[in-house]
Structure 1
Amino acid sequence: MSTSFAAAGTWLITPPRAGRFDSALRACPDVALLDLEDSVRAESKDAAREAALAYLTARDQDGGVVTGLRINSPGTMYGLKDLAAIADSSMCDAVVLVPKVESARDIDLVSQALDAERRRLSLWALIETPRAILQLDAVLATPRLQGVVFGAADYAAATGCGTNTKALWWARSALAAGAAAAGIPAIDSPYFELNDTDGLRADAENARVLGYAGKGAVHPDQLPVIREAFRPTATEVAEARAIVAAADEAGGDMTRAGGHMVGPPLVAAARALLARTARTPQPSTPQEAADE
């Protein structure tokens, strides 16, 4: 599968352990990554790297789920070993998520080391430090960067703030706005409470409101809730269709739709929502919706 995809929906990162990645793929996230960073102890990193690359280079990349790796930070010994191993491998058409990105140079280094353009590797930056947020303009202007992911846990640890929505609102907003200005998608951090479905739903809906294209998950059971949160509601779709119809009838002039004045920005937003809906599978029956 080509990595030049519309990165909307769900991302799932899993340790490179036997059986775990196959389980992740069966859950059908939009993107599934093998993790070489936080989920692997130092003494196990060499074996994990070897196993992950063997799996990804042997797997058919046209299976419907975009796959790849979260490497270690390029500024560490483990990150450099990751880059060398990937460069020596045949891995292509995959996502490479780069953690602890704080400058454009971080992405440039990875791109050059991996010959990313030739291999069709999609480079994404994990933005998870205060310095990264303050350097967003430079990071997001990097030509080889194809998207960003917010890392709430590391950001909260670095700043001493909480991990609730209120504490992270500014950083999440800044990243979503910066990514939109750069014309690349942003994926929100996972929600770490596995047994709090209501909290996950609210957090995912907040991410969507902020402009994120999708959200990470820490367990396959979270995927249906995230999909639902990012799927436009029937009411939103109906309103968007009414706005587009009114705008078309008015020939581009300001007009009214549903009791609101409608101008070009609202029309553009409505068209974007309808386009996103067309790309997103919709439950065809109430039972299918309930089963999700």
Structure 2
Amino acid sequence: MTRTPLTWLYVPGDRPHVVAKALAAGADVVVIDLEDAVAQDRKEHARAATAELLTEPQPVPVHVRVNALDSPWSAADLAAVAGLPGLSGLRLPKVSAPEQVRQVAVVTPVPLYALLESALAVEHAYGIATAHPALRGIALGEADLRADLGVRAEAGLDWPRSRVVLAARAAGLAPPPQTVYPDIRDLDGLSASCAHGRALGFLGRAAIHPRQLPVIERAYLPTDAELEHAETIIKAASANEGAQALPDGRFIDAAVVAMARRTLSLAGRT
């Protein structure tokens, strides 16, 4: 059984040697960035290097974050990489309206992922999430969102975070991954932030350095105790039809069973 992606490693598209290392770093998905991580005078180089790499299938799924759709570079980005054998998905930054998703979907068959980075985008979250069947996921871009809202404290982002989690679920999409944690040295802070994100309903996280990957995995993979409890629920449900109680008296019903199955699926178990 294929494990649900939990780690999404961003890497600058203008540094092919770093991209090569990222492909072997153990991330579930590698995201080659043509946007924020690449200076304006390096955009063409990044695009060409990425297109050359993606002419061949890659050992792990590779997504490309193109430049914002209203930028001078996005059309060339899409033309260069869409449809290449090594491309598994396109990440569209600064999406604020459903029409933007549909504009890209009509010119490429590649799965799309929208990044919501403004107050307007969060307000349109459900519309964006249901804009087109090619859209497979949404996520927040919290650096830009924080600036747009003028928010400094973490608590100020909890409402838009929950809004995006709800929109994804209502649209039938996978739970969104958390945005990047910018301090690559603060692994304790990353772990605490992941625990908070998991409590809000996120699933997995984007990373900007390989050292962050095991922290994210530990935070989002079920613990041994959680797996044991899930297996107990599944066994009890299989042995008896309808609502039942576990030996310790805890009540189980269809919703509890569904959560148990999800827990097992995260660990690659049926």
- After TM superposition, the score normalised by the length of structure 2 is 0.92
- Give the structure 1 partner of residue 260 of structure 2: 270
2:23·2:30 contact (CA, 8 Å) conserved in 1? yes
Deviations 1:19-65 (A, max 9, x none): 100111111201101111001111211121111111121x333x1x1
Shift of 1:83: 2.0
1:243·1:267 contact (CA, 8 Å) conserved in 2? yes
1:100 pairs with 94, 100, 105, which one? 94
- Give the structure 2 partner of residue 169 of structure 1: 158
1:60 pairs with 57, 60, 67, which one? 57
Aligned length, in residue pairs: 266
Deviations 1:144-200 (A, max 9, x none): 101112211111011111263x22211111111211121212111011111111111
- Give the structure 2 partner of residue 111 of structure 1: 105
1:256·1:262 contact (CA, 8 Å) conserved in 2? yes
| SS at 2:196 equivalent | helix
Superposed CA RMSD in Å reads 1.9
- Give the structure 1 partner of residue 245 of structure 2: 255
- Give the structure 1 partner of residue 232 of structure 2: 242
| SS at 2:184 equivalent | coil
1:129·1:154 contact (CA, 8 Å) conserved in 2? yes
- The 5 Å alignment of 1:1-292 reads 7-16=4-13, 17-57=15-55, 59-61=56-58, 63=59, 65-86=60-81, 90-91=84-85, 93-113=87-107, 115-116=108-109, 121-142=110-131, 143-162=133-152, 164=154, 166-185=155-174, 186-278=176-268
| Bigger share in helix | 1
Please tell me the residue identity of whatever aligns with 1:99.
Answer: P
2: CA distance, partners of 1:229 / 1:33:
21
Shift of 1:246: 2.4
1:53·1:91 contact (CA, 8 Å) conserved in 2? no
Identity of counterpart residues, as a percentage?
Answer: 34
Unaligned stretches of 5+ in structure 2? none
2: CA distance, partners of 1:28 / 1:78:
30
| Structure of greater relative contact order (alpha carbons < 8 Å, 6+ residues apart) | 2
Structure 1 residues 6, 149: closer, same or farther in 2, change over 3 A?
Answer: farther
Please tell me the residue identity of whatever aligns with 1:52.
Answer: T
1: CA distance, partners of 2:84 / 2:183:
37
- After TM superposition, the score normalised by the length of structure 1 is 0.85
Please tell me the residue identity of whatever aligns with 2:88.
Answer: A
2: CA distance, partners of 1:12 / 1:192:
13
1:242·1:257 contact (CA, 8 Å) conserved in 2? no
Unaligned stretches of 5+ in structure 1? 281-292
2: CA distance, partners of 1:149 / 1:240:
28
Please tell me the residue identity of whatever aligns with 1:187.
Answer: P
